[in-house]
Copies of this chain bind each other. A is one copy, B any other.
Amino acid sequence: MITADPKGVLTGAHFIDGDQACTEGCLAAGARFAAGYPITPSTEVVERFARRIPTVGGRFIQMEDELASSIAILGAVWGGAKAFTVTSGPGFSLMMEHLGLAVMTETPCVIVNVQRGGPSTGLPTLPGQADMMQARWGSHGDYEIIALSPQSPQECFDLSITAFNLSEQFRVPVLFMMDEVVGHMTEKVIIPPAEEIEIYPRRLTVKPPEEYLPYAVDGDLVPEMVHAGMGYRFHITGLTHDERGYPAMNPEAQDKLIRRLKDKILENADRIITLEEEGLDSADVVVVSYGITARVAQRAIELARAKGLKVGKLRLVTVWPFPEQKIRDLAGRVRAFVVPELNLGQIVREVERCAAGQARVISVPHAGGSVHRPEQILERIEEAAK
């Protein structure tokens, strides 16, 4: 770990919304390139970046569409930058091909999705959390990604740094899954001094070109990178490839590559996953939630506790990789999980799968466009506690 480049760090207290806090987080993390295409409710992130970056030292380009912005950042990363793009549902759908390319070429980058109501054009100005499964499954083929879900402007700042760090550490695109409420909610955000911000450095090789194999790995399954212009004359392709990065059109190469891409995430899941846990030890009922819904759920939990119920809280700061083991462990000792989401039941399916019949799993769906009323969640907690 190194510390942040002070040029990007706007140390101090700010009353800003989640979108803007996200921009500041990316800047603090060292992002000096962003390519974007406007879409409500995410545009403020790149608007602020466009305003800030010329005085920090970097570049922003508004591309012609999301296809372009999602691959321009990959070009920038191979050119040496830390880079990200920002979008919402419809644009996220358009980025799916390049999410796959980033996975396949192991290009560290961050894609921010400020979720709105879907499907299709849906509710452009209103919140949703219905792209959570898309984040995991939206591109063709098998892969694993990392997805984080902030619950406040402060976390939009803090976790976008985490997103970049994970992305560099595991050479994987990290999806920063905000939602319209968090994105447009304004609160105090404290930005610490640069020297208090830890940055995971790019894993550049120290090997000379003759010895360097772009996709050879050691212990933690993550290969070392080089940048264009460094004299390595390397090749990168979205085709299945061997350790040299050359196309290898056979099932053996496929098996080796694709499994490693999954394993580097799954085998490191413990190092990746962050959870916020509270009152789990004595809980009868555990509320599993993420993003803005976690704050609504918190209120419901307090109401339930006030009624004497033993309710625990498990907030998924990291949504993907899914904390399978945690759920399995809890399932053996709690009565039920209650899973409120701003969708008709997405992450609850994972909870259900991992609970494996050991505990009841109760979905508290919501079609989006607003958040739950705490009472809606409370009701289901009460039902679960019965």
What 1/0 mask marks residues of chain A from 335 to 346 whose CB sits below 8 Å from any chain B CB?
000000001101
Q: Is the CB of A100 within 8 A of B118?
A: yes
Partner of A123, one of B117, B123, B139, B249: B249
Partner of A240, one of B90, B122, B141, B349: B122
Q: Does A205 contact B (CB under 8 A)?
A: no
Partner of A369, one of B90, B104, B131, B240: B240
Partner of A93, one of B100, B105, B251, B367: B100
Q: Is the CB of A258 within 8 A of B368?
A: yes
Which chain A residues in 122-167 approach chain B with CB under 8 Å?
A: 122-126, 128, 130-131, 133-134, 136-143
Which chain A residues in 53-103 approach chain B with CB under 8 Å?
A: 67, 89-90, 92-94, 96-97, 100-101, 103
Q: How far is the CA of A370 from the CA of B133 in the complex (A)?
A: 27
| A353 contacts across to B, CB distance below 8 A | 349, 352-353
Which chain A residues in 23-57 approach chain B with CB under 8 Å?
A: none
Q: Does A254 contact B (CB under 8 A)?
A: yes
Which chain A residues in 173-225 approach chain B with CB under 8 Å?
A: none
Q: How far does the Cβ of A380 sit from chain B's closest Cβ, in whole Å?
A: 17
Q: How far is the CA of A366 from the CA of B89 in the complex (A)?
A: 31
Q: How far is the CA of A131 from the CA of B366 in the complex (A)?
A: 27
Q: Is the CB of A119 within 8 A of B133?
A: no
Q: Does A268 contact B (CB under 8 A)?
A: no
Q: Does A358 contact B (CB under 8 A)?
A: yes
Q: How far is the CA of A366 from the CA of B346 in the complex (A)?
A: 25
What 1/0 mask marks residues of chain A from 236 to 275 whose CB sits below 8 Å from any chain B CB?
0111100000000111111101110010000000000000
| A258 contacts across to B, CB distance below 8 A | 119, 344, 367-368
Q: How far is the CA of A89 from the CA of B138 in the complex (A)?
A: 11
| A358 contacts across to B, CB distance below 8 A | 357
Q: Is the CB of B141 within 8 A of A118?
A: yes
Q: How far is the CA of A104 from the CA of B90 in the complex (A)?
A: 13
Q: A119-B100, A356-B352, A369-B254 are contacts. A139–B134 as well, Cβ < 8 Å? A: yes
Q: How far does the Cβ of A288 sit from chain B's closest Cβ, in whole Å?
A: 15
Q: How far does the Cβ of A373 sit from chain B's closest Cβ, in whole Å?
A: 11
Q: A93-B140, A352-B353 are contacts. A369–B122 as well, Cβ < 8 Å? A: no
Q: How far is the CA of A98 from the CA of B141 in the complex (A)?
A: 19
Q: Is the CB of B119 within 8 A of A130?
A: no
Interface CB pairs A-B, < 8 A, 10: A89-B141, A90-B140, A94-B96, A103-B119, A117-B141, A120-B139, A120-B141, A123-B239, A128-B141, A251-B368
Ranked 5 nearest A-B pairs via Cβ: A118-B141, A119-B141, A251-B369, A357-B357, A89-B140
